[in-house]
Amino acid sequence: MMTKLLKLRVALASLPLFGSAMAATSVTYDFESSTSGDLFEEGGVSGWSQDTANPTAFDQTIPLAYISTTNFGGGSSNAAHLGTQFANTANNSDTTLTGDLSSVNFANYLTASFSLAILDNSADSFEGRDGFSVALGNAAGQQAATIGFTPTAGVNESWDIQVGTNGSTSTTSLQVLGLSSYNFKIVATEISTSFSFGPGDLSTGNVGILNTAPITSLNTVNSIVFGHDPLADAGTSSNTLAFDDINVQNVPEPSSSLLMVLCAGLMAIRRRR
């Protein structure tokens, strides 16, 4: 079994802010050190774990999650894939892939972004459709922030978006289309959590989905979890969640940084007067 180490970049940088040095740490998963065909099961992709065993039949292992090439708009590259394209679980159990973020200490801020697409050929004989989710997980094994995707009723090529924090989600009026490339971003502070999304090639900026309550105990976030929820009867779907270019960091958004620098400048001017 080929097992290639995934390029896990833990970038450490110092960012001067307010005259003091504030350490900034981030985790990036771009899967470029993997090989197309690598499996997530049993540590096949470094930094990741898969909770459900791949099924076997006819002396072969048939994957629920694997690396394959996809073009999110910036050119073809390796990306993670999770779902029922090649196999399903007999009991329709969920499958989750968990990416390790424990090297980052999220004290007051968290910014997470990633490319995402739901792959489904609505013309094939597998008419069932499944749900998917992306969550920031915490040390207690709970979902600190969640983006959910459930099939839009009556529209075969569309999934409704739900977002929320601390284990609950709210339905939004927004959808993603199948076979389309998106960029999602979560910005969490001590005050609120904002969710936004835009085209995967970043040709336009993201638009807001919803602002929600802050994440409780932001400093306990330690993972990013991609989940497949087989809503259709066993074996009747062929849906895949593709994702790539995951970046999670503990530095404020540029706009937030700018605001803080501005405030610091105003305070300095006031003190001088």
Partner 1 sequence: MKFKNLLVPLLGWVFLGSANAQFIDLGAGGVKVVFKTVDIVVNGITFPATQASASVMETAADGTITAKLQTQVQVPDGSGGFEREIIQKTTVATPDTVTGTFDVQTTTEVLTTPVDTNGAVIDATTTETTVVDEEDVDENALDLPPTTSFIAVDPELDIPVVISAE
Is the CA virtual torsion 118, 74, 7, 257 positive or negative? negative
Residue 255 interacts with partner 1 (CB under 8 A)?
no
Report in angstroms how near the CB of residue 197 gets to partner 1 at its nearest. 6
Instruction: Of 260, 247, 135, give the one whose Cα is nearest residue 191.
Output: 260
Residues binding partner 1: what is the number (CB under 8 A)? 64
Q: How far is 134 from 186, CA to CA, in rounded Å? A: 11
Report in angstroms how near the CB of residue 134 gets to partner 1 at its nearest. 17
Residue 212 interacts with partner 1 (CB under 8 A)?
no
What lies within 8 Å, CB to CB, of 273 at 6+ separation is none
Report in angstroms how near the CB of residue 214 gets to partner 1 at its nearest. 22
Choose, by CB under 8 A, the member of 208, 258, 266, 267 that binds partner 1. Answer: 208
Residue 158 interacts with partner 1 (CB under 8 A)?
no
Q: Is-contact 169 163, C-beta < 8 A? A: yes
Residue 231 interacts with partner 1 (CB under 8 A)?
no
CB neighbours of residue 244 within 10 Å: 24
Strands 221-229 and 131-138: antiparallel
Q: Is-contact 11 225, C-beta < 8 A? A: no
Choose, by CB under 8 A, the member of 14, 20, 125, 255 that binds partner 1. Answer: 125
Q: How far is 52 from 220, CA to CA, in rounded Å? A: 25
Residue 199 interacts with partner 1 (CB under 8 A)?
yes
Choose, by CB under 8 A, the member of 173, 254, 255, 271 that binds partner 1. Answer: 173
Q: Specify the residue, 44 or 137, whose C-beta has the smaller distance to partner 1.
A: 44
Report in angstroms how near the CB of residue 204 gets to partner 1 at its nearest. 7
Instruction: Of 47, 3, 75, give the one whose Cα is nearest residue 248.
Output: 47
Residue 198 interacts with partner 1 (CB under 8 A)?
yes
Q: How far is 203 from 72, CA to CA, in rounded Å? A: 12
Residue 113 interacts with partner 1 (CB under 8 A)?
no
Token readout for 104 is 């980052």
Residue 43 interacts with partner 1 (CB under 8 A)?
no
Residue 126 interacts with partner 1 (CB under 8 A)?
yes
What lies within 8 Å, CB to CB, of 216 at 6+ separation is 144, 165, 166
What mask of x and - would describe binding to partner 1 in positions 51 to 90, judged by CB under 8 A?
Answer: ----xxxxxxxxx--x-xxxxxx--x-------xxxxxxx
Q: Is-contact 96 89, C-beta < 8 A? A: no
Choose, by CB under 8 A, the member of 38, 130, 160, 245 that binds partner 1. Answer: 38
Please give the residue ranges that form the binding site for partner 1 (CB under 8 A).
1, 35-39, 55-63, 66, 68-73, 76, 84-91, 117, 119-121, 123-126, 172-174, 176-177, 179-182, 197-201, 203-204, 206-209, 234-235, 238, 240, 242
